[in-house]
Amino acid sequence: MTQVVVVTGAASGIGAAVARHFAGLGARVVVADIDEAGGAAVAEEVGGLFVRCDTTGEQDNQALIDTAVQTYGGLDLVHLNAGIGDGGGFGEDDYDTRRRHRVLAVNLHGVMFGLHAALPALAAHGGGSLLVTSSMAGLGAAPFDPVYAATKYGVIGLVRSLAPAWQEKGVRINALCPGFVRTPILSPEAVAYLLGEGYALAEPAEIAASAAGIAAGEETGQAYVLQAGRAPEPVAFP
Ligand code: NAD
């Protein structure tokens, strides 16, 4: 059983559901987020530890992993899940360099810093599992948010590139590619539009259950499509 779990972006949405899922299985859960009030509330609910972590900072990522190891003696699963949307468009009206850099900082640099801090700690504890939340936008296209899509493609590249070397050290690395999930990252207008267009929205708890199954499996270097009401589907890369 997975004993010690670190989840970033765990104050809300998918990350909070993952924290609840593993706490329900008896794991000790480290809830990491930039949102102190939300993160502390989830940590209290799951009987876990809240660590304030801005994943865009290399030191915050290292401090998060060090705190988890010092508190619980090691790690079994790290889920790099924190992410944001709204990277700006490519038109004259919505081209916004600050938004663009922020999405790159959280979704891509944040995952790189998290991987750099977490992988050696997992290996030092005898191996374990690392999950990164990508998106179906990282496999297809997101015309509404192209920079978001680029970051989600990017983290799949990291997962697939790092997995072989870390497999030798007992660490499995996989990417989750959810479709639309009912969380605050989707505005009420976006939810209404998607439902009107006939899209099925997954619940965060479904994604958490799939994440737990993938974390406990044997595979590494995979990206899994996670859609409402469906079992995880590994992507067949060329
Ligand atoms: P959410 O907004 O509910 O949760 C995101 C969490 O990340 C929030 O708690 C937020 O405070 C935290 N966060 C943001 N910036 C941070 C930072 N710099 N450091 C630490 N924490 C930070 O959204 P969600 O849908 O649960 O998103 C979780 C992940 O799932 C994201 O990576 C997102 O891109 C991905 N995803 C979501 C959907 C969807 O439809 N909801 C689909 C595919 C992928």
Asked whether 184 lines ligand 1 (CB < 6 A), one says yes
101 contacts: CB under 8 Å, gap ≥ 6: none
3-class SS of residue 76? coil
Asked whether 194 lines ligand 1 (CB < 6 A), one says no
Distance 9 CA to ligand 1 centre (A): 6
What is the pLDDT at residue 2?
A: 62
Asked whether 87 lines ligand 1 (CB < 6 A), one says no
Give the DSSP H or E segment for 94: none
**Ligand 1 atom closest to 55 (CA):** 19
Q: pTM for this one?
A: 0.98
Distance 168 CA to ligand 1 centre (A): 30
pLDDT < 70 regions, the chain: 1-2
Instruction: Using most ligand atoms within 8 A of CB, pick from 42, 45, 106, 183 the residue to mutate for ligand 1.
Output: 183
- Nearest Cα residue to atom 34 of ligand 1: 83
Instruction: Using most ligand atoms within 8 A of CB, pick from 80, 158, 159, 181 the residue to mutate for ligand 1.
Output: 181
HSE, CB side, 13 Å, CA atoms: give it for residue 46.
Answer: 32
**Ligand 1 atom closest to 133 (CA):** 32
Q: Which residues are catalytic?
A: 135, 148, 152
**Residue 25 · residue 77 · CB < 8 Å:** no
3-class SS of residue 53? coil
CA–CA dist 49, 39 (Å, integer) = 9
Among candidate residues 134, 130, 136, the one with its CA nearest the CA of residue 114: 130
Asked whether 227 lines ligand 1 (CB < 6 A), one says no
Asked whether 56 lines ligand 1 (CB < 6 A), one says yes
Asked whether 40 lines ligand 1 (CB < 6 A), one says no
What is the pLDDT at residue 61?
A: 98
Q: Are strands 223-226 and 77-80 parallel, antiparallel or unpaired?
A: unpaired
Q: How many other CB atoms sit within 10 Å of the CB of residue 220? A: 18
Asked whether 175 lines ligand 1 (CB < 6 A), one says no
